[in-house]
Chains A and B, each alone.
Chain A
């Protein structure tokens, strides 16, 4: 049986109530994914979504698919500090993993989307990502008989951008981290974690304060914090990046976009002062597989990440305080993150794109 249909079964078996029983600091094992009322999961829909996910027609020049920056082999990232981009342009942020996006209340580092159905169309339209005109995409896909049939079967209707996004979202919701040593440990298997990893878990929940924000089943509070991560030097003084940054700022009605020199983070979306340079707390599930880290990929390894938090974050930030971890504690914490948080590897059978 294919992985995505297994996940789907799991989802059907364990109906997870999403009302807030999650407390800060409390870690939870995987127990199923939230049921999608507005876009119900069906095997036909996730299969259609998978085809679209790998279809290069979704980019303007036919060279990129969703999988270009979310490669299955790299835990659905592209492994770069700054994400790949539409040819001749430059991106400005790190490609986030898609693993466990089903649990996220906000999508994008700045949280501009609240549903995957909303999110999926952004990179397609984005001038520096897939650069596709969606009206054109609809007409192109309507010329592919296999897609016309699939959409009719799945949605009982014709191909629209909304349904394209719904199918892709359904596929992405099958990408779930299951059966990690942490899951087994939290369900009572004391042997699931090595002694060193258990020591790391203590640091994670205690002195390291990681669980203050990275909690619940997805190890994330879905909130936004300005940690003042160092700027990625590769982004400064590159006119192509400046163009990207100012373009996004303009789209979000940032008044002084022509003078913008740094990534304003969530501020672009909310225009609230406290959101200046704030970014979403990411999941830590499968974290060992999704290097490099932070919204601009500036930290290459988990060691660098741990050191960053141990120092109390970046210069001038008010969200973090120095932790004073010993070398042993740092080592244990890393062992925990590497050993305990990696779920079963998600293997994707590449679909035949019609």
Chain B
């Protein structure tokens, strides 16, 4: 992402897998951080530390980002953003998506965990297209 600063924008849809234990809470945590203006920071932190996403770890990440802990904890414990997460999940199923991650790079579908080089190639193609 950093290589493409200013050129690439990331839109995040939550698609926590139903049988994973910490998936939902991690999604809640990211959105709770978003309420305090630190969504992207939390997003990166969660990915970096995945799969260490148990409750204590997530709270530690929030502290690292200097979030208001009372609001953050209340948010993840109250499943405050469940509606957004459910909406995203429904969208995914409606689009017949079942794999995470799935990317749409300017609408081009890329399924599965790809290498950085693979994604870079597509992003570069799109940047080139955009310049024309």
Contacts and interface: CB of A to CB of B under 8 A. Distances in A.
A234 interface: yes
B112 A61 contact: no
Pick from B98, B100, B114, B115 the residue with the most CB of A within 10 Å.
Answer: B98
Interface string A64-101: 10001000000000111100100110000000000000
Q: Majority SS of interface residues in chain A?
A: loop
Nearest to B98: A63
B98 A68 contact: yes
A302 B8 CA distance: 30
Nearest to A234: B115
A84 B18 contact: no
Contacts of A81: 115
A89 to B, nearest CB: 12
A311 interface: no
A64 B17 CA distance: 13
Contacts of A289: none
Given A56-B98, A64-B98, A68-B98, A84 B111 contact: yes
B57 interface: no
A279 to B, nearest CB: 22
B115 A61 contact: no
A80 B98 contact: no
B20 interface: yes
A78 B19 CA distance: 24
Contacts of B115: 81, 234
B99 interface: yes
A80 B112 contact: yes
Nearest to A73: B109
Contacts of B100: 87
A145 B70 CA distance: 53
Contacts of B99: 63, 68, 84, 87
B19 A80 contact: no
A299 to B, nearest CB: 14
Contacts of A61: 18-19
Given A56-B98, A64-B98, A68-B99, A84 B19 contact: no
B75 to A, nearest CB: 26
A87 B111 contact: no
Contacts of B111: 78-79, 84
Contact of A78 (B17, B18, B98, B112): B112
B112 A84 contact: yes
Contacts of A68: 98-99
Given A56-B98, A63-B98, A64-B98, A87 B17 contact: yes
Contacts of A80: 112, 114
A84 B114 CA distance: 10
B71 to A, nearest CB: 32
Contacts of A87: 17, 19-20, 99-100
A307 B111 CA distance: 28
A88 B16 CA distance: 12
Contacts of A79: 111
B17 to A, nearest CB: 5
B98 A88 contact: no
Pick from B18, B19, B20, B112 the residue with the most CB of A within 10 Å.
Answer: B112
Interface in A49-70: 56, 61, 63-64, 68
Interface in A97-151: none
A189 to B, nearest CB: 36
A78 B118 CA distance: 14
Interface string A209-223: 000000000000000
B114 A88 contact: no
A88 B17 contact: yes
A290 to B, nearest CB: 16
B50 to A, nearest CB: 12
Given A63-B99, A88-B17, 10 more contacts: A56-B98, A61-B18, A68-B98, A78-B112, A79-B111, A81-B115, A84-B99, A84-B112, A87-B100, A234-B115
User: Which 8 A-B pairs rank lowest in CB-CB distance, beginning with the nearest?
Assistant: A63-B98, A87-B17, A84-B112, A80-B112, A61-B19, A84-B99, A64-B98, A88-B20
8 contacts: A56-B98, A61-B18, A68-B99, A78-B111, A78-B112, A87-B17, A88-B17, A234-B115
